[in-house]
Structure 1
């Protein structure tokens, strides 16, 4: 269930990043922009930090007076890819290591897709770091996510990899809205984008590791009602109208279990709306961050 629409050739070179050690054998490629209170962007499975730029969110936050930190998670080049399996706790601890390295506190987290899992676990494990949280297209997974993860893990077991054409077809069918999928030129254009390059993985272990972490979260029936009720920071939940992995009706119902959470549906987009049709999501996130800006 990859959230990367770009080829590795489109990714910034290693010298465009700073590197943060998150433990033995784990070097994370980090980018920062702007000055002010920190917003940490937590991407989805296989999503390079540059994907955020398509939505305009990093620039908008920096222009509003925030420091924006984004990074390529373990497994994605030029970060390192330690051997699989990875756990969601590993990914949350990686994020904490980045914040600790930069001395960031009172951070606003913005998680997209699997990044929402990371955000929730980071809050549980290091509440001292978190001021507020945006859970974007990733609060409540359906069985569809588990089925796709199981299919991909089975292909890795049998073939050693998930064939690129299978991943591209999956991305097209889940990232685009129904209207986009019905337009031949749009489908051809996004197929060309998604087919290029090698997916940006540092090694096959990176894809397998992130996939196993995602599957672990979903099969543990996360987020549980108890964990949702324990969220004690301001929370904004966003969901895309046509998201097959995180449908808005389920996300809205789940958001009611988070004390004081705000829910917003972004119309006209599928799961990949962050890079195909972000709508007013950037403006809503910036407004939320401005409202909950540390003093």
Structure 2
């Protein structure tokens, strides 16, 4: 395992590289860091170079002042891959990570050979919805949203599990400025037109109990991408890689095999 800090425009992006072989890049959701993928990675096949990074405002990366733009977040991911010399990767993005995946796949076809869009969409929510959330954080702190966010993130079964404490803590450890900055980036993004131009293999994954990006929203995005596939995970919320890592890893592995990546 090798750790890197990649500087771009005064912002340091922390990333971690494990293994060797065909590259797979993972981008996590709003309010989490690269630990989001910990349950899945041990279940993936050998022969992969696993690349994870903390987007700006999260984890061990810099927390520049808000607002952020989706273009900046996409360029951060691009800088990571360019620094590592990675091309023809499969890019797995969840939630805002899936928006980054869409933007990067359109911008840099040389970097991306296939995409997994997990619990995401070309457009998520409205500017008014995101502003309401930002105002609540400014007034009462990020922790004031924890209960509501956990109910959107997880299905009924997982909400009752002892593992919940770990994910609550990860959410509440997120820098408020980073959460707000990324929220503003999501609020300003509508990728329907650009995402409709994608012609690489695309797998969409959704959870039946996802309160943030419901399955129908995921389907709307996949409907504009010719040849895309859809996998619905039962009794899961917004983070199915956490709730049912075995099923998630099995479907991801099948996609890697179907696309000739492993």
CA RMSD of aligned residues (A): 2.4
Alpha-carbon distance, 1:287 to partner = 1.4
CA gap 1:205/1:179 in 2 versus in 1, 3 angstroms:
closer
Q: Give 1:223's aligned residue.
A: 191
Alpha-carbon distance, 1:121 to partner = 0.5
Q: Give 1:29's aligned residue.
A: 14
Q: Give 1:8's aligned residue.
A: none
Deviations 1:75-104 (A, max 9, x none): 123211112111011111000101000110
CA gap 1:247/1:198 in 2 versus in 1, 3 angstroms:
closer
Alpha-carbon distance, 1:47 to partner = 1.6
Alpha-carbon distance, 1:274 to partner = 2.3
Output aligned runs, 1:113-262, within 5 Å. 113-139=95-121, 143=125, 148-157=129-138, 159=139, 162-164=141-143, 166-181=144-159, 186=160, 189=162, 192-196=165-169, 199-201=172-174, 203-217=175-189, 222-224=190-192, 226-262=193-229
- The TM-score normalised by the length of structure 1 is 0.80
Deviations 1:48-92 (A, max 9, x none): 1112012x2x2333x331101001111123211112111011111
Alpha-carbon distance, 1:17 to partner = 3.1
Q: Which runs of 5+ in 1 are unaligned?
A: 1-14
Equivalent residues of 1:139, 1:237 under 8 A apart:
no
Q: Which runs of 5+ in 2 are unaligned?
A: none
- Find the aligned partners of 1:197 and 1:42 in 2 and give their Cα distance: 16
- Find the aligned partners of 1:279 and 1:258 in 2 and give their Cα distance: 27
Larger Rg: 1
User: How many residues in Structure 1 have an aligned counterpart in Structure 2?
Assistant: 262
Are 1:75 and 2:80 an aligned pair? no
Alpha-carbon distance, 1:191 to partner = 5.5
Equivalent residues of 2:208, 2:215 under 8 A apart:
yes
